[in-house]
Amino acid sequence: MTGLLETIIISLQDIVGNLIRTLPGLIAGIIILLLARYGAKFSQKVARKIGKKTIRSASLRLLLQKTSYVLAFTAGVLFAAVVAFPGLRLGDIIAALGLGSVAIGFAFQDIFKNFLAGILLLLQEPFRIGDQIIVAGYEGTVEHIDIRTTRIRTYQGEEVIVPNATVFTSEIQVRTAYDYRRTNLGVGVDYNTSLPMAKERLQNILQEVEGVLDNPQPEIDLVGFGDSSIDFVVRYWTIPQQHIVRRIQTQVIIAIKRDFDQAEINIPYPIRTVYYYDQQRFNDYLPLPNQEID
């Protein structure tokens, strides 16, 4: 019994001694981790300043900042591990990372997938920060492209966070990719209206509305005979931002209605004729007058 107690005491003394010997290294490692965090932020600020002077693309500047932060923090973590555990060599760390990469890959495959998709989005730039896009059923302005997600501000003032993997694999409609955007507006006129005269008036209206671009030129096409009207399609171009498109469309509609009223051009609406009849008189199950029943 005495020998067992002595063995336990010796083991505890060894544990406490090892802990005391490793305690300075652990404290130094924690301090290095804290410094590494501030160092990573500092490297990110430096990368931001360098990127503003040398890189025109906002997406590539963001990628440079994220990369510098990750590399600086990773280097700090490795250095802290070596200091905290003096017997640990860089080769051992690399071997441990290699053995654990498969398990980590399965556990965090969605995170890694979004991470790689974010890097590809920043490199390829299918859209940029400030562009108005439609992706995964959401429409709005791109506010931020992170390593893992893309943040979109909808026209209703809501924030939508879409995983980068979803953005990368989905069809994207970039509404502000070019300098101008076309709006198609349907207009119907009465069958008694002079079509050349109506087309000329529509062209003059578009020339007078501020915000409608002269180049590309507006187009007015006749597209068919409707039930109650002959139908035009007015095609004109504006600056691509959504709030400008809506505002100019409202102005065009008001201008067309005002001009057509002055010219006494009717914009017809569907007309239905309803017939009332006596069901008793026109019942299919009743015989007609002077008709014999078999």
**Residue 190: CATH number of its domain:** 3.30.70.100
Residues ≥6 apart with Cβ < 8 Å to 235: 182, 183, 184, 185, 218, 219, 220, 221
Contact 195, 222 (CB under 8 A): yes
> What totals of helices (H) and strands (E) does the chain contain, helices first?
7, 8
Q: CA 177 to CA 78: how far, in whole Å?
A: 43
**What are 62's two structure tokens?**
């963001």
66 and 38 in a common domain: yes
Identify whether residues 186 and 160 lie together within a single domain: no
- The answer to whether residues 160 and 189 belong to one domain is no
Going by pLDDT thresholds of 50, 70 and 90, the confidence category of residue 163 is very high
Q: What is the mean pLDDT of residues 147-158?
A: 91
| Helical H segments across 125-241, by residue range | 164-169, 195-208
Specify the pLDDT at position 110: 76
pLDDT in tens, 50-93: 877 777 766 667 777 777 887 787 777 777 777 766 666 656 55
For the segment 167-194, the average pLDDT, to the nearest whole number, is 93
Pair 187, 244 in one domain: yes
Q: Which residue has the higher pLDDT, 32 or 24?
A: 32
For residue 38, tell me if it sits in a domain.
yes
Answer yes or no: is 208 within a domain. Answer: yes
Considering its fold, how many domains does the chain have in total? Answer: 3
Whole-prediction pTM = 0.65
Residue 157 in any domain: the answer is: yes
Give the tokens for residue 125.
């730039």
Q: What is the pLDDT of residue 218?
A: 94
Are residues 185 and 237 located together in one domain of the fold?
yes
Question: By percentage, how much of the chain surpasses pLDDT 90?
Answer: 41
Q: Give the domain extent around 160.
A: 126-174
272 within a domain of the structure (yes/no)? no
Tell me the one-letter amino acid at 110: D
Among 18-27, 113-122, 248-257, the least confident range: 18-27
On whether residue 255 sits in a domain, the answer given is: yes
Q: Which of 110, 114, 126, 130 is nearest to 164 (CA)?
A: 114
Residues 81 and 154 in one domain: no
In order of 93, 97, 147, the CA distances from 33 in angstroms are: 17, 19, 22
Tell me the average pLDDT across 176-205. 94
Q: Which of 174, 209, 233 is the last residue of a domain?
A: 174
CATH of the domain at 149: 2.30.30.60
